[in-house]
Structure formats: structure tokens, C-alpha cells
Amino acid sequence: DVVMTQSPLSLPVTLGQPASISCRSSQSLVYRDGDTYLNWFQQRPGQTPRRLIYKVSKRDSGVPDRFSGSGSGTDFTLKISRVEAEDFGVYYCMQGTHWPYTFGQGTKLEIK
Amino acid sequence: QVHLVQSGVEVKEPGASVKVSCKASGYTFKTYDIHWVRQAPGQSLEWMGWINGATGGTNHSHKFQGRVTFTRDTSATTAYMELSRLKSEDTAVYHCARSGGLDVWGQGTTVTVSS
């Protein structure tokens, strides 16, 4: 199975400051069709996960533009340009290129 | 608006089976797969498998080999996940989600396995 490794696992951030989460895969996530199936999800406390980013850098409808995704191959990053109160929770990367699809361990974004 | 609504809380004894439903609305059911993901308490997310909305074809993680069954009823626009021979480690919230991209999620069904 493809192992997804996130860092850091805990990220204390001050409101208004930027945040960055890394996600590395044990194999390239480029699929035979040329696309890279790397998604990012946000899970607020007590809530269902919500997809923010798909195919590395495409933002879902309704997701603020302070969220951005980048990367290629095995190395990916989720950035929040200025953290707001509603952003606190756990973030997961997920690969949908290789079966079985796999998630990272999660990064907890906390108030500093 | 697209919605996935799941069945309610389940409490089961070890060795029993559980069947969770996922009612889809707001889109053409046969156009998308339904995927199943679970989350044990305090843990990350774990992919279980999926069912093709049109053909009923399925695939599942090897971890659940022989224990999980995915079905669907297209007339009811509902997908089902049945997990058998339950163990305490199967205690988790079980989610359905639309497509391999997991763009829309059900609210989750808590399954507790305890004697």
C-alpha cells in the first residue's frame, strides 16, 4: 500500500499567520492518464471530513482562496495564507492513484 | 443540492454483522461510485472500498477481504455496506462518500462493537 506521511502532526498557529502542511507519498502519484490524484480534506472537531483540494491544486467550490495546494510526484503541500478561526481542525491528505486509496495520519492545526 | 444520508447508530456484539445504508439525492445515482471510509476513535481515515452506481461492480481493500460486501438499490438510490464477523477493532464511524474524489460525504454512522 502507498504510505502517506504528513508533517508536522501538530501545527500551532497564530490567527492571521500562514500555515503549511507537507504530505509525502511512498510512490509517485501520477496516474497513467497523466493526472495526479492527491486530495486534501479538513475535519473540524466533531464534524465530517470536507474536501478542500483535489488533483493537487484544484479548489472545491466554496473553499476560500486562502487555501492552496501544490506539489508533484511524491511531494505535496497545503498552504493557508492567513489562518482564520474557522480553519482549526485536522487536515488529511489522501491519494487516489493507487488501490487501495490511502490517507495521511492527519495534521492538527491548533491555536497558538 | 447533493446529499448522502446514512442510517443510524449501531451497537453489535463481536461476531455479528452490521449493514449501513447511504441514501443519495440531488444527482443521478448511477453516474457516480459510492465509496466507504471509516474512522476509528482518535484515528485517521481508512478506505474500505467502493461500488459502481451503474454496474454494481465492487472493489475493496485487502484488509477487509471476505468480510465486507457492498450493494446498491438503484430504484431507492441507496448504497449499502455490510461488515461481518465484527471485532472490537471495527468500532468506528463509517462514512459513505461520492466518487473516488470523495467530494460529498454522508454524516457518518457510529458502529460500536462490544460484548
CB pairs under 8 A between A and B: 45
Min distance B106 CA to chain A CA atoms (Å): 8
Q: Write out chain A residues lying below 8 Å of B46, CB-based.
A: 103
Locate the chain B residue with the closest alpha carbon to A103.
B45
Query: What local confidence, expressed as pLDDT, does residue B86 receive?
Result: 98
CA-based nearest residue to B58, from B48, B49, B67, B47? B49
Q: Tens digit of pLDDT for each residue in A87-103?
A: 999 999 999 999 999 99
Q: Tens digit of pLDDT for each residue in B18-72?
A: 999 999 999 999 999 999 999 999 999 999 999 999 999 999 999 998 899 999 9
Confidence category of residue A112, pLDDT binned at 50, 70, 90: confident
Confidence category of residue A78, pLDDT binned at 50, 70, 90: very high
Q: Tens digit of pLDDT for each residue in A40-59?
A: 999 999 999 999 999 999 99
Q: Is the per-residue pLDDT at A65 higher than 90?
A: yes
Residue contact A92–B102, C-beta within 8 A: no
Q: Which residues of A touch B (CB under 8 A)?
A: 37, 39, 41, 48-51, 54, 60, 92, 94, 96, 99-106
Residue contact B47–A101, C-beta within 8 A: yes
Dihedral sign computed on CA atoms, order A48, A97, A4, A110: negative
Query: What local confidence, expressed as pLDDT, does residue B100 receive?
Result: 86
Backbone region of residue A32 per phi and psi (left: phi > 0; alpha: psi in -120 to 50; beta: other values): alpha
Residue contact B103–A41, C-beta within 8 A: no
Sorted by sequence, the CB contacts under 8 Å of residue B41 that are 6+ apart come out as B91, B92
Mutation site for B-interface testing, chosen from A2, A50, A103 by largest number of B Cβ within 10 Å? A103
